[in-house]
Amino acid sequence: MAETVKNLAMAKAINESLRRALETDPKVLIMGEDVGKLGGVFRVTDGLQKDFGESRVIDTPLAESGIVGTAIGLALRGYRPVVEIQFDGFVFPAYDQIVTQLAKMHARSLGKVKLPVVVRIPYGGGIGAVEHHSESPEALFAHVAGLKVVSPSNASDAYWMMQQAIQSDDPVIYFEPKRRYWDKAEVSTEAIPGPLHKASVVRDGTDLTLAAYGPMVKLCQEVADAAAEEGKSLEVLDLRSVSPLDFDTIQASVEKTRRLVVVHEAPVFFGSGAEIAARITERCFYHLEAPVLRVGGYHAPYPPARLEEEYLPGLDRVLDAVDRALAY
Amino acid sequence: MTVESTAARTPRRSAGSKAGTAGAKAAGTTGTKRTTRTTAKKGTAAQQGADPELVQLLTPEGERVKNADYDQYVDGVTPEELRGLYRDMVLTRRFDAEATALQRQGELGLWASLLGQEAAQIGSGRALRDDDYVFPTYREHGVAWCRGVDPTNLLGMFRGVNNGGWDPNSNNFQLYTIVIGSQTLHATGYAMGIAKDGADSAVIAYFGDGASSQGDVAESFTFSAVYNAPVVFFCQNNQWAISEPTEKQTRVPLYQRAQGFGFPGVRVDGNDVLACLAVTKWALERARAGEGPTLVEAYTYRMGAHTTSDDPTRYRHDDERAAWEAKDPILRLRRYLETSNHANEGFFAELEAESEALGKRVREAVRAMPDPDHFAIFENAYADGHALVDEERAQFAAYQASFADVEGGH
């Protein structure tokens, strides 16, 4: 590789990561709808079929269960398929294969069989899309033992977390925050990445911890900037992994700040924030000065695009939760 | 309950006048000698409405009938191999009967009997090469037998000590799949991998008439056709999906569905082990030659209940079963072996002894099967580990240890 540090949009970073995986491991395959000539509807697989051929970058029939089900068979044969589900709302035909087969086969074989399958899902809203194109179903996967669930927030993590997801011998659901696809960041292709399931502290603070992943990390950083102007010092965690969750990093932060607000686009009810709140309450009961608060979507179908600004967590809604937590 | 005995020793009570008359006709076994392949090229609309025909090489009476298309696939079968097929069927039935008995005795939580489907499973199973790969449902005990999977391994999940437990790669026999039809996609993906590897192995996916309604089965037909995957779809149409007859699954004979996906489908007499062997060999040869998938519909009958939890008297009549008993797969091969002098009394006596010994071994193995260690709950949830699993395992250990303290204090 000529350059080792590049300024890349997240979509391009994932593309380069996939390219690297295809180059270094002949068993890696890309599968999905329109991933070939078109390069995917978000162009994440742009140019890969041209360079690696139709046998490794595979345009599939429009059948999500078939995509994941055949990927399982290919993994049993020794391949490492990286499958693309075109949009979050389209994963559900494959949900049966993911939950009943992909997640359980390793355990059912008493460890004899490994299923290194990565399921890429562009997710989340904020792009003014039509129905079924803006959802955040990560909790539905985190609830299933046997799956790992991750979501990068920036181009560098997107690059390295994809490398690690492909190398993982467990199935990984890799949620790509589509509204951040075009955000650029420096990506070092020779960095030594931290563990895939470790959260990172992206901003130090003392008064309250904001925990987020994927598309909401950038928002939380903006919230922290705004709060700083009011003299409040917020710590921001990029959780990066939803299953497993890095509770140690959250706990360490909350023991310092004593207040926690969790932010995600997914509905709050039974969302990952609920699990974080419960566990952090157990771990940090005597440190907490306020209940753990959550900011997220409502228990209503994802609204039409003209309403999504009201549905999704924004700067003011998160700041409001920060104020409420600090008021205790 | 003659059919639940270990082997077909004598013609059954129902094998006389009913055979070849109403019962057989209703089931479509008319002894036709014409091939019934439909291919994308050969298939015509006229076939849709016609009475389905099926490939048969041995009549229920044990008469060998000629078949211009399929004889070539079994011409080389020696008398010894014929006896082997018979032995496979008898021992499989014996094992199956033992498992049913073990469930009744409380040693197994559940058993899904293959009674009546021995020919479909042994015929197709013996058509395979070692390097081929099998994707079964939960009823392929006869295929497992052909693959060399120890029958006692099949019982772990029915006893509740594991959810599968054998190494799929040691016999190229994937774990049983309970979610109906899911495995047809895995089989297709595996076959796509074989093609990518440039190997000439093939894959066989088993499923039933009920599963034929599942979207996954339709998607596996689409994927395998589009990618020309070397896979044989082997549908055992045993007439019943628990309580639902095949008419509740389809308006066309199942084998004809292949035509719409662009590959051949054929119906075979699923109670005729030679025909199942021949048709499966033909389909596997197509796969190896790069000609893509084939659908084989083995027309057979589930002689027993869906599982030991089922009560078929609520939805079907005894006379239907009696008609199928006359077409018993083991009985007809025995008749053929006897009339062609391919087996003597000594062979049958020895087999009976072997059969009893197998039953005893299975019985003893199941009773000796230990309950798993409590910590097996957490084992192999993940290949690379998971922080939450580690945490919960530690909590579980502490909880268990708390009882040890109490007991120690007494």
Tell me: cis bond preceding A244? Omega within 30 of 0 counts: yes
Mean pLDDT of B354-371: 97
Nearest-CB residue to B383 (from A63, A65, A170)? A170
pLDDT band (50, 70, 90) for residue B33:
very low
pLDDT at B323 over 50: yes
Q: Does B261 touch chain A (CB under 8 A)?
A: no
How far from A156 is each of A16, A17, B47, B129, B197, CA to CA, in Å?
A: 11, 10, 60, 48, 34
Cβ pairs A/B, distance under 8 A: 146
In this prediction, the residues of chain A whose per-residue pLDDT falls under 70 are 1-2
The reply to whether residue B179 touches residue A96, judged by beta carbons under 8 angstroms, is yes
Q: Which of A110, A196, A247, A279 to mutate to test the interface with B (most CBs of B within 10 A)?
A: A110
Q: How far apart are CA A135 and CA A33, in angstroms?
A: 19
Q: How far apart are CA A206 and CA A208, in angstroms?
A: 6
The reply to whether residue B164 touches residue A108, judged by beta carbons under 8 angstroms, is yes
Percent of chain B at pLDDT exceeding 70: 86
pLDDT at B213 over 80: yes
pLDDT digits (tens, 9 = 90+) for B301-315: 999 999 999 999 999
- Give the per-residue pLDDT at B405: 65
Element (H, E) at A222: helix A216-229
Give the Cβ contact number of residue B323 at 10 Å. Answer: 22
Choice among A106, A133, A197, A264 that is catalytic: A133
pTM above 0.90, yes or no: yes
pLDDT at B27 over 50: no
pLDDT band (50, 70, 90) for residue B267:
very high
pLDDT band (50, 70, 90) for residue B404:
confident
Q: Does A246 touch chain B (CB under 8 A)?
A: yes
pLDDT band (50, 70, 90) for residue B14:
very low
pLDDT at B254 over 70: yes
Choice among B87, B302, B332, B334 that is catalytic: B302
- Give the per-residue pLDDT at B52: 65
The reply to whether residue B223 touches residue A61, judged by beta carbons under 8 angstroms, is yes
pLDDT at B28 over 50: no
The reply to whether residue A97 touches residue B389, judged by beta carbons under 8 angstroms, is no
Tell me the angle at which helices B79-104 and B273-288 cross, rounded to the nearest 10 degrees.
110
Partners of A246 on chain B (C-beta within 8 Å) are: 387
The reply to whether residue B188 touches residue A243, judged by beta carbons under 8 angstroms, is no
pLDDT at B34 over 80: no
- Give the per-residue pLDDT at A77: 98
- Which regions of chain A does DSSP assign to beta strands (E)? 5-9, 28-32, 57-59, 80-84, 118-123, 148-150, 172-177, 184-188, 200-203, 208-212, 234-238, 241-243, 260-267, 293-297
Q: Which of B177, B184, B186, B375 to mutate to test the interface with A (most CBs of A within 10 A)?
A: B186
Q: Which of A52, A64, A68, A70 to mutate to test the interface with B (most CBs of B within 10 A)?
A: A70
Q: Does B185 touch chain A (CB under 8 A)?
A: yes
Q: Does B10 touch chain A (CB under 8 A)?
A: no
Nearest-CB residue to B219 (from A55, A66, A106)? A66
Nearest-CB residue to B192 (from A70, A245, A246)? A70
- Give the per-residue pLDDT at B11: 38
∠B126-B127-B130 over CA atoms, to 5°? 80
Nearest-CB residue to A107 (from B193, B380, B384)? B380
Give long-range contacts, CB 8 A cutoff, 24+ apart: B143-149. B143/B173, B143/B206, B144/B171, B144/B173, B145/B88, B145/B91, B145/B92, B145/B95, B145/B121, B146/B88, B146/B121, B146/B122, B147/B171, B147/B172, B147/B173, B149/B173
Strand B231-237 and strand B294-299: the pairing is: parallel
pLDDT band (50, 70, 90) for residue B16:
very low
pLDDT digits (tens, 9 = 90+) for B70-112: 999 999 999 999 999 999 999 999 999 999 999 999 999 999 9
The reply to whether residue A75 touches residue B197, judged by beta carbons under 8 angstroms, is no
Q: Is B255 a catalytic residue?
A: no
How far from B29 is each of A193, B20, B252, B300, CA to CA, in Å?
A: 66, 8, 17, 10
pLDDT digits (tens, 9 = 90+) for B378-401: 999 999 999 999 999 999 999 999
- Give the per-residue pLDDT at B406: 64
pLDDT band (50, 70, 90) for residue B43:
very low
Q: Does A103 touch chain B (CB under 8 A)?
A: no
Partners of A65 on chain B (C-beta within 8 Å) are: 185, 215-216, 219
- Give the per-residue pLDDT at A192: 87
Q: Is A133 a catalytic residue?
A: yes
Partners of A244 on chain B (C-beta within 8 Å) are: 386-388
Sign of the torsion angle spanned by Cα atoms B394, B395, B398, B403: negative
Sign of the torsion angle spanned by Cα atoms B341, B344, B350, B352: positive
The more confident residue out of B305 and B44 is: B305
Q: Does A209 touch chain B (CB under 8 A)?
A: no
Partners of A146 on chain B (C-beta within 8 Å) are: 381-382
Least confident of B31-35, B228-232, B344-348: B31-35
Partners of A100 on chain B (C-beta within 8 Å) are: 179, 182
Strand A260-267 and strand A241-243: the pairing is: unpaired
Distance from CA of B224 to the nearest CA of A (A): 9
Mean pLDDT of B163-186: 96
pLDDT band (50, 70, 90) for residue B165:
confident
The more confident residue out of B7 and A253 is: A253
Partners of A106 on chain B (C-beta within 8 Å) are: 380-383
* Residue-averaged pLDDT of chain B: 89
Q: Hey, what are B373's tokens?
A: 């260690």
Residues within 8 A of B (CB atoms), A 146-165 only? 146, 148
pLDDT at B3 over 50: no
- Give the per-residue pLDDT at B23: 34
- Give the per-residue pLDDT at B17: 36
